[in-house]
Amino acid sequence: MPETFDFDSIPLMLLLLVTFAVFLFSMWAGIVYGRRYAKGKNEPGKGFSVIIGGQLTLVAFMIAFVFGIASSRFDMKRSNLLEEANSIGTTYLRTDLLADPVRSELKNLLKEYVDLRLDAYFHPETLQEALKKSDEILDRLWKLSSAYAESQPSSMTVALYIQSLNETIDLHTKRVTVSIVQKIPIAIWLAAYLLAIICMFVIGFESGIADAKLSVPGFLFALTFALVINLISDLDRSREGMFKVSQQPMIELQSKINSEVR
């Protein structure tokens, strides 16, 4: 699987079904092989319980590790959103320290940026175009602001505005990096799946040695692991599933800006 593969491109429900099917098949394959292995053996099952215990411990450690990464990214996304909304709000307020006509143009650009941010969240299909337009708006903001600052090099009020604008631009880059670029590496997902598949096979293998069939507890065990992995993937995503980062701070900022415009 190429490194450029986007794990988030798989819908969560499809991911759950495929994961469950793969785990179930692995357990079934272990049962079939275990039955073949048990033929002609006097004590075929001796010692396998220890191996299974070690396998489960390793898989649990790997899942906890991946969950920790996803949980940390989710917290960072929430924190970045709040920081960005506050920074944009501060920048917008500090434009009042500037003179027209640059003040009005800067306020309009900031309003357009906030509208674009929310539109991209609620309409993910426009994300790439929104990112491109966001960069253009931020570039325009910086060029206008830096030109204005050059005309008043000793102004403390302009310096305060430039400081907040610079922070807004930095937070935009930080938010995009955390939310879109720095996802859980595909290599970690592959390792987690591989360990879980091996674990399912070994459990099925021991059941096959005991001449057991794929029963309800086996189904539930595979489903439990599939649900946990699906939950982690849900937590790692930004726009799909149960764990969505609330856009309320940005929505409130948009309402405040729109009320002032009116």
Cβ-in-10-Å burial (0-12, 13-18, 19+) of 174 comes to middle
- pTM, full prediction: 0.79
Q: What is the pLDDT, as a whole number, of residue 3?
A: 46
Domain extents in the chain? 8-34+46-54+92-261
Q: What is the pLDDT, as a whole number, of residue 41?
A: 64
Q: How many CB atoms lie within 10 A of CB 254?
A: 18
Give yes or no for a contact between 103 and 239, defined as CB atoms under 8 angstroms apart. no
In 3-state terms the chain splits into helix, strand, coil percentages (rounded to 5) of 80, 0, 20
Q: What is the residue-level pLDDT of the chain in tens, covering all 262 positions?
A: 444 556 677 888 899 999 999 999 999 999 888 888 777 665 555 556 777 777 788 888 888 899 988 888 888 988 999 999 999 999 999 998 888 889 999 999 999 999 999 998 888 888 889 999 999 999 999 999 999 888 887 788 889 999 999 999 999 999 888 887 778 888 889 999 999 999 899 888 888 887 778 888 888 989 999 999 999 988 888 667 678 888 899 999 999 998 875 5
Q: What is the pLDDT, as a whole number, of residue 171?
A: 92
Query: Which phi and psi (to 5°) does residue 44 adopt?
Result: -65, -25
